[in-house]
Amino acid sequence: MRPYLVRPAAAADIARAYAWYERERDGLGEEFLTEVRAAMQAVVEAPTAYAALHRQTRRALVRRFPYGLFFRLMDDVVVFVACFHTRRRPESWKRRR
């Protein structure tokens, strides 16, 4: 398994989404985190299985939830840069480093 890093901005994205889902229904935020972790695991196991969307940034969709995990493969490290709602303006994640 490759090493990975979650940038602070990506962690904040995940925390905001978690909080929103928990406000909607008790336990739904935990379900969201479970799916995010599963998506991260899949990425870490096979990062090149995901197509590059912009330059070196790739996206993995989060099962059951309308979110995408945006990441880059830097050397041999998977770097998660954002976790955005799929309906959000696509230019937003392009500014992340």
* Residue 84: predicted pLDDT: 92
In this prediction, residue 31 carries a pLDDT of 98
Percentages helix, strand, coil for the chain (3-state, rounded to 5) are: 45, 30, 30
Give pLDDT tens digits for 15-74.
999 999 999 999 999 999 999 999 999 999 999 999 998 889 999 999 999 999 999 999
Rounded to whole angstroms, what are the CA distances from 18 to 2, 29, 32, 60, 63? Answer: 25, 4, 7, 18, 15
pLDDT digits (tens, 9 = 90+) for 35-44: 999 999 999 9
Strands 57-61 and 67-74: what pairing? antiparallel
- Does the pLDDT of residue 97 top 80, yes or no? no
